[in-house]
Amino acid sequence: MGVVMAEVQEFILPDLGEGLVEATIVEWKVAVGDEVAIDQLVVEVESAKSVVELPTPYAGRVVSLGASEGEVLHAGQVLLGVAPVGAEVPAEAVTSSAEPATSSAEPVEAPAGASGAVLIGYGTQESTARLRRPEGGRFKQRRKQHAAETRTEIRDAGLQTPVAASVALIDERRNSPVMSPLVRREAQAAGFDARHLRGSGPGGLVLRADVQQAAATLQGTRALATQSGSIVAPVTQIGSTRTAKPGATGSGAAAGGANAPGTQTAAEPSSRAVHPAGQGADLGVGPTSGQATASETATDQAAADRRIPVEGMRGIVAEHMAQSHAQVPKATIWLDVDVTPLLDLRAQLQASTGERFSLTTLIARIVVAGLQQHPRLNASFDAATNEIVEYGRVNLGIAAQTPRGLSVPVVHGASEMNLRQLRDGIGELVAEAPRGKYSPSQLQGGTFTLNNYGAFGVDGSSPIINLPQAAMLGIGRLKERPWVVDGELAVRTVMTVSFVFDHRVCDGDAASAFLTYVTDRMEKPALLFADL
């Protein structure tokens, strides 16, 4: 009687939410051959939003890993394969952790009867159509593939210049699938449409890596052409009816590819030398010594520079900040506040209860009360409908600096919490900051942000609003200053409180009313009881 081979259950990378279609493998917590239980944490992945530890929906023995640490997988691709303990497994289904997945670069269709579901959760027994990982790693194979395609397109088109390589990557006749809004925006920022690239993802999907490669190629082409003295016009895409714009010297690309008299194309650098006044053509066509020195200096400078890819969470933060700065007409107001009474109240609370309460917790409680009294600031501006959306509850974001960059985890339902609950909610988020491993749910749904930049030793700031929120309150460092109290000069503990708001949502009177509400209760905490 023959041995019955066990079916390998494939754990699919789930949808991480908010348009995040890819994740980097940070750390495998299991290896091929390990036994795992249902809901055991098996891998740590990093999306553009957060680092998440994923539990397996299956029990058994790990027979394959879908990627190596540092590689990227996409939602719907296989994370790992699990087979029943002790069962026979086909040899081709077993891979080592050093060589994840399989070696074919061709898409493999799911067998008949498969659910066809792209996993948001767990439990799908069969995988959907997926891209098997090429030998040597997906990124290495992708680079080889793009290089080969570029060389072929250059040869077929008869293009021989550096500009041709960048042109060959972008073709307006293509209409490749693009799922991620982030990918579209990155391509637009680089000056082209992501749909016109050849995607390296499953089914030709255009990935961020494709956009970044095309953008880097364009940038490198222009830099190379500039150093060599070429006239570089904006790159015309293949299949486009647009022509290159004339350069500063009056050269340009004629329609239909023919050069107008007395002009040159961007792909054909001039061989004519520019002679200094008073000197003849006997100087030749090479660069002057001054030009050579300048070129060498530029080359040396470029060699000493360091380029740091802006990706992952840093890329999301950069994009988010730029978007907010471009879209929001913000205004900032501030007040210096004597927080000595609030510090006294904290000391009394801690002495009476034996519990610890941070100053941030007390200020957060005052802020929540202020938002309930001034709901226009607990809002957002919906540009699509030209409406102001006032939120029915306060979900308080707490700005936190993490090893991965700036995060704003959220205390959900802060408006329904008492002081202890708010303290515990903030404490949980702050405790996680050194690791920076917030779950997607902890980073979503904020309606207002509290930013304690005093922890960095500064007094004030005019921060960028955390879209789609309409406002942010910032607190500076504590500092002893001379202060007038009841007509007498005294030394008091003072901080600067800054408030930045979206001027589309409210005017200065509403913003000032909120800020004075908060600062009055920081100076006279007893006022808060009138609103509780």
Six-digit token string for 368:
């929540």
DSSP code per residue over 415-484: GG--HHHHHHHHHHHHHHTTTT---GGGGS---EEEEEGGGGT-S---PPP-TTBSEEEEE---EEEEEE
Six-digit token string for 258:
């023919």
Is residue 75 domain-shared with residue 192, that is, in the same domain? no
Number of domain units in the chain: 3
Residue 183's nearest CA partner among 215, 199, 202, 206 is 206
Which of 195, 228, 246 marks a domain boundary? 246
pLDDT tens-digit series, residues 85-120: 877 665 555 554 444 444 333 433 433 333 333 333
- Higher model confidence: residue 494 or residue 122? 494
Is residue 92 domain-shared with residue 184, that is, in the same domain? no
Cα–Cα distance measured from residue 219 to residue 206, given in angstroms and rounded to the nearest whole number: 19
- Domain membership of residue 307 (yes or no) is no
pTM of the model: 0.58
Percent above pLDDT 90 for the chain: 39
Six-digit token string for 446:
């904020």
- Higher model confidence: residue 79 or residue 162? 79
With left for phi above 0 and alpha for psi between -120 and 50, is residue 516 left, alpha or beta?
alpha
Q: What is the pLDDT of residue 101?
A: 43
Helices 359-373 & 508-523 angle (0-180, nearest 10): 140
Is residue 476 domain-shared with residue 364, that is, in the same domain? yes
Q: Quote the DSSP letter at residue 99.
A: S
Is the pLDDT at 430 greater than 70, yes or no? yes
* Other beta carbons less than 10 A from residue 72's beta carbon: 18
pLDDT tens-digit series, residues 383-421: 999 999 999 999 999 999 888 788 899 999 999 999 999
Which of 83, 106, 133 marks a domain boundary? 133
Looking from the CA of 253 toward its CB, the CA atoms found within 13 Å total 20
Is residue 378 domain-shared with residue 425, that is, in the same domain? yes
The dihedral built from the CA positions of residue 320, 440, 408 and 41, taken in this order, carries a sign that is negative
Q: For residues 191, 196, 197 and 203, what is the CA-based torsion angle, rounded to 10 degrees?
A: 140
Is the pLDDT at 527 greater than 70, yes or no? yes
Secondary structure string (H, E, C) spanning 283-317:
HCCCCCHHHHHHHHHHHHHHHHCCCCCCCHHHHHH
Is residue 319 domain-shared with residue 460, that is, in the same domain? yes
Q: Which amino acid is at 148?
A: A
Percent above pLDDT 70 for the chain: 67
**CATH number of the domain encompassing residue 334:** 3.30.559.10
Is residue 371 domain-shared with residue 494, that is, in the same domain? yes
Cα–Cα distance measured from residue 175 to residue 177, given in angstroms and rounded to the nearest whole number: 7
- Domain membership of residue 300 (yes or no) is no
Its domain, for residue 74, covers 9-133
Is residue 317 domain-shared with residue 401, that is, in the same domain? yes
- Domain membership of residue 49 (yes or no) is yes
- Domain membership of residue 275 (yes or no) is no
Is residue 489 domain-shared with residue 522, that is, in the same domain? yes
Q: What is the pLDDT of residue 318?
A: 83
Is the pLDDT at 248 greater than 60, yes or no? no
Please tell me the least confidently modeled range out of 40-49, 292-301, 303-312.
Answer: 292-301
Q: What is the pLDDT of residue 123?
A: 36
Is residue 38 domain-shared with residue 157, that is, in the same domain? no
- Higher model confidence: residue 404 or residue 487? 487
Is residue 96 domain-shared with residue 124, that is, in the same domain? yes
Distance of CA 276 to the CA centre of its chain: 50
CB contact set of 216 (below 8 Å; sequence gap of 6+): none
Q: What is the pLDDT of residue 373?
A: 96
Is residue 77 domain-shared with residue 177, that is, in the same domain? no
Which of 133, 148, 173 marks a domain boundary? 133
Q: What is the pLDDT of residue 377?
A: 97
Instruction: Kindly provide the b/e burial profile for residues 504-531, where b requires at least 16 CB atoms within 10 angstroms of the residue's own CB.
Output: ebbeeeebebbbebbbbbbeebeebeee
